[in-house]
Structure 1
Amino acid sequence: MFDLDLQYFMEYRKMRGSHYERVSDLYVEKLKARNKDVVKYVMKNCSNKASDMKLNDETSEKRKKRKMGTAGSEDHQPNEHKKTKGKSYKSSLFGIDCSPNEEDVKKRRIPPEETFEYWYQEPDLNRNVSRNVTSSRVKYDEPKEEEATDGEETEQKTGQDEQQEGEMFKKGRLTFLQENSRSVLTSELYVRKNGLELLPKVTVDRNHILAMRGPGVLSRHQITLYELLFQNIFKRKWRLAYRCFTMMIRLDDVDLRGLWHLGIEILQRLTEEEAQRKYPDLSPYDLNSQNFLQMDKQQQQQQRRSDFDFEEGEFSSRDNPFINKDNQLHEWYAVNYPSFKMLGSVKIFWTFPVPQRFGTKETSPLHVRHQIWNLIMQRKFDLVDEKLGSLLLVPPYAKDGMFHYLQGVSYQYRASLLSEDYVSAGMNSEEIEKLIADAKKCFSAALECGFVIPEDLLEGEYSILKSRLYDLNSKYDSEPEYVNSEDLVDSSDAEQRGETGNSAMDSFTGLSNDMFEDEFERFEKNLGSTKRNRNPDSEDEYEEEDVWDQQHRRYRNADSDDE
C-alpha cells in the first residue's frame, strides 16, 4: 500500500513539475506515518500553487483536446486534475477539494463605489461607437497557449491576468447590452446591478452637424438655395424665388412649416404679376383686395361656357395656374400640420420658433389666420363660415379672440356689400340686419377672450350701414305716400308735352340742389309721421325711430360739412 501511494505521488510530482521536489522528502516521511492532517496541509499548499505551475507537453495537448471536444475517455487518467469554472481544482488522487476560499474571492471583487470613475475613464469602452460598429461584430482574440519545447518552460497567466480578462469580458457584455439590447430596461438593470452607471446620451444639433460637415454636397446646396431664395425675394424677382422655393420643398431636411410665409408671399406676388399682365389698367386697390380674382374667374367661366358649353360648376382653377395656389398651399398646411398633432422625430433643417411653425395647445398656427384673412378678402364667405364653424369648436381656436374677430369681420364685410347691392336694387334689409347682429356677437366674444378691437372704426362702419338701411326703408315707406292722382298724367298728354315719367319721383329730376334738399326734408318729416301713426301703442318703436332719425341727420350734417 505504501509503495502504491508513493508511486502515485512520484507520478503526480512528475506531472506537476519540479516544484514538488522541495516538499517530496517531507511528504514521504509524513506519508509513512499516516498523518492525514499533514497530508491535507501539504496538498492544500501545493494545490494553491497549481495555477502558477508550468504544464508539460502532454498536459497541454490533452487540454487542447478537451477544448475542441475530441478528447476521449481514454485521455482522462485517474491522476489528472479537472479544471472547472471559478478556478476550482480537485485532486483525483486523494479526493481533496482544492477550490479557492470564499474570502479570497471576496478580496478579488472590486467594490461598486470604486467602479464609477473607472467606467468613465476606460478608453476602450466605446471605441466602436465612433466607427458605427456594434460590439456584436467585434471578435475578441483569445490568448494562444504557447507550446512548450524540450528543456523550455512556457509561462501561464497568473490569477491577476485571469481577473483582468474576466473584467474585460464583463465590460464588453455591458457595452453590448447597452447598444444592442431590445429591452432598454433589461440592459439598464443589468448595468446598475453591477454597480455601474449608463453613459449619458449625446444630443447634437442638426444645424451644427451640417455646418461642420463642410464637404457635404447636399448641405451646401441647401444653404445656397436658402440664400438665393431671400435674395430674389428682396430683389422682387418672384419667378426665380418661386423656382428656389419649389426646389427647397422637395428636400428631406427642410421644414416647410418654417417657410410657409415665404411661399404664400411668392404665390401672391406671382398672381399680381399675372393680373397686371392681363389687366394693365387694374387699380392698386383691386390688387390689394384681390378683386381681380373674381373678375378673372367670371371671364374664364364665360369663355368656357361659350366655347365648350360647360356648366358653371365645372369650372376649374387650373385655367389660371396662379389664381388659387396660395389657398391650395394653405389647405395642404392645414391637413399635414394640424396644431394638435405634435410630431416627435421630424428632420428640421432651419429652426424657427415653435408657435410660428405649427402652434401649440394654447397657440394657434399663424398660417391658419392668414388663410382665413385671404378668404375674407377674396369674398369667399361660405368657405369662411365653414372653416371657422369647425375651428371655433375646438381649442386653441375657441379661446383665441382673433378667430372670433375674423368671423365678425366676415359678417360685417358681407353686410356692407349687400347694403350696396340692396340699395341699388331696392331689396329688403332683413338679411343685412341679421348679419350686423351676428357681427356684434362675434366682436363681444372676441372682447371676452381678451382681444383688442378698434371700436371707433367699427362704430363708423355701423353708422354707414344704418344710414344705408334708413335710405332703403325710407324708399319703401315713401313711395305709396306721395303718389296721388294729380301726379299721374295721361300718357297721351305726356307724349304731347314730351314727358315720359308717370310717378312722383320723376318730378324731382328737374329741380335744383337746394330745392331737392327741401323736398327731401319734407319727405323725411312725412315718413316719421306715417311710422308713428302705424304703431301708436309701441313706445319702444318711437324711441328707436327717433334714434335712427338723429343718427341719419347727424350723418347728413357730417356729409354737408365735408362738402
Structure 2
Amino acid sequence: MFELPLVRNTKRVRTVRKLRYQYINTLYQEYRRVQSSATANSTLPTPENSAAEEASDGDHDSADATSRRRRRKRRLLSVLGHAETDTDLSDAEAEEGNDDAEQADSEKEFFTRHEKPQETFEVWNTDRQKTVPMNTSTLSYDTCKQIERRAQKRLSAGMGHISKNADQHFRAMRDGYEIVAETPESHHLAHITQLNELLHVNIMKGRWDIAYRCFSILIRLPGVDIRSMWGPGARILRELSSTDKGLGTSEEFLGWLSGIYSSRSNFNQAMNFLMDPVFRCGSKTHTAKFVVAWLWELLFASCPDGTEHFSEEDPSNRKLLRLIERLSEMVLIPPYMEDPEIWFIFAVCHLVSADQLSQRFISTKSRTSELERDISRNQVTQHITNAHNCIRTCETKKGDFSFPRRIIEEQLACFEKRLYQNNDDLTASDPESEFGLGNEQENLDTQNVLGPGMSSMIDEEDNFFGSAEQVHFGFDSDSST
C-alpha cells in the first residue's frame, strides 16, 4: 500500500540502465545518419578538395596519422568480427572521439535531447515565421532493422564482461518485452512491509505513540534507508517532543541527517553499488530536502515568542545568531550557493534580526546614550542591507522560486523607520501616524539634514508605500501597536 523505505539498486540494475541509454543514443545516431544521407542524395553533390589541394595546405602528416589509425581500427574490428562493411567501419571511426563521453554521460546525453516539462508548460508558439513543417518522412522495415543491427554491433564490443543475468535483462528490454520486477518473499521484507503500513496508518489517525514505536524499530532494521522516511519521523518528533522532554526534537533529527549524509562526501561507484536518488540524498548541484526543512525548522524556532523586550540571554535570539553564522558559511560552498531558497531563508533571518534589534532600540532609547543609539542603528541598518543583498542574490539564481518581494521591502522600510520615530509616534493609535515622522526629530547629519530646494521623501499623512495598513510577514513586526 505504501512505498517501502528501501533502495533496490544492484550492480545488475545499474549495468542494464547504462546499456539502455547507450543503446537508445546509438539508435538515435544511426537514425540521424540515415536521415542525413537521404537528404544529401536529394541535393547536388558538393565537390571535395583534391589530394593536391590538401597537400598544398600542409596536411600530409595529419592525413597519414589518421589513415594509420583507421587501418589499425579496421584490423582490430575485423579480428573481433564486429565489422562487416565499410559503412560500419566509417561509423565507428566517426564516433571514435566520443566513445569515452558516451560511456560516462549516456544518461545525460539522452535527457539533453528532451525539453523539460517546466519549460514547455502552457507555452504556445503563435509566430508563423517560426513554424516548422511536419516531418512526414517514413522508414521502411528493412531500414529500421538495419539501424537496429548496427546499433547492436556497436554495443556488443562493450558487453563481453557483463554478467549473464544483466545480458538477459538487456536483451529482453531491447526486444520490447516487459520485465517483471522481482518480489523476494522473506520474513525480513514482510516485517518491514507490516511496520511501514502501521507507521503510516497511525500517523493518519494521530496515534503518535504507536507511530513512534514503529518508526524507532524501522530505522534500526538493516536495509532500511532513513532518508526515505525523514518526513514522517520529523512530524512524529514534533508532536511528541512538546510532551516528552526526553525525546529528541525534529530540529535535532534533521540536523543529524544533514551532518551524517553530506552532499560533499565521496561516493565510490566501483565499491558501492547502491546509488541513491538525487532528490533523496542531495548532490553537489542539488540541495537535499531534509537540509532545507532543517533550516526552516531552525528559523521558526529562533523567531521571537511575542515578548516585548529584546534580551541577549533569550534562547531564541542565540539560536538566530547561530543560524545566521551557519548560513553565512553554507552559502560559500555548492550546492547551497546556487539554491535560491537558501538565500531566501538567509534574507528572512536578517529580517527577523532587524525586527528584534529595532524593537530593542525603541524600548531602550530613553535609557541609552547617543553613542549606544548610533551603534544600535548601525546594527539594524546592517541587517536591512544584508536582507536586501540576499533578496537580490535570490532573484539572480536559477530556479522557479517566487516570493513576495514587495511585502518584505515594506517590512524592512518599516523597521528602518522605527529608528527615527519618537515615543509619542510609536504609541499613537492611528495607523497612519505609525508610519509618519514625529515633530521632534533628532539632528542626524546622514538622515535629516536636507539641502536647499530638497523635500523630504516620506509623506507626513501616509506611509512610505502609499497604503494606510501595516503589512505583517508571518509575525508581529511591531509589538507596541
TM-score, normalised via structure 2 length = 0.49
Q: From the CA coordinates, give the structure whose radius of gyration is larger.
A: 1
Structure with higher helix content: 1
Higher RCO by CA contacts (8 Å cutoff, separation 6 or greater): 2
